[in-house]
């Protein structure tokens, strides 16, 4: 048997052993993981964070609208002041 065949066979055998070991480890860890993290553990946090995000997005839209209104008011005031200054010159 050529050396390449032996190396490939050894590698394949090691890969199969590794796969079996990983599968056994997953089987042993599965019950531990299920008991350690309840399925709904993050559900409440996720819902609370989603509500908070919605509130903050709404607040952000309100602030943007207020900023646009303030900018428009400043623009009008500036234009009025320029008109007054132009008439007085």
The 10s digit of each residue's pLDDT in 22-63 is 999 999 998 887 777 666 666 778 888 999 999 999 999 999
| Same domain, residue pair 51 and 31 | no
CA–CA distance, 43 with 48 (Å, rounded to integer): 9
Mean pLDDT taken over the chain = 87
Structure-block tokens of residue 38: 């309840």
CA–CA distance, 89 with 85 (Å, rounded to integer): 6
- Average pLDDT estimate for 52-79: 95
Q: pLDDT value at position 41?
A: 63
Residue 71's domain comprises: 42-89
| Same domain, residue pair 24 and 61 | no
Q: Does the model's pTM come out above 0.85?
A: no
CA–CA distance, 13 with 20 (Å, rounded to integer): 11
| Same domain, residue pair 85 and 71 | yes
CA–CA distance, 36 with 42 (Å, rounded to integer): 13
Radius of gyration of the chain (CA): 34
């609208």: which residue's tokens? 65
Number of domains the chain is built from? 2
């Amino acid at each position: 048997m050529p050396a390449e065949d032996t190396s490939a066979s050894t590698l394949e055998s090691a890969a199969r052993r590794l796969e079996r070991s990983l599968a056994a480890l997953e089987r042993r860890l599965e019950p531990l993981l299920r008991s350690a993290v309840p399925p709904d553990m993050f559900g409440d946090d996720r819902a609370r964070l989603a509500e908070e995000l919605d509130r903050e997005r709404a607040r952000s839209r309100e602030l943007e609208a207020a900023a646009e209104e303030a900018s428009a008011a400043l623009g009008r005031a500036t234009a009025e002041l320029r008109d007054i200054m132009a008439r007085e010159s």
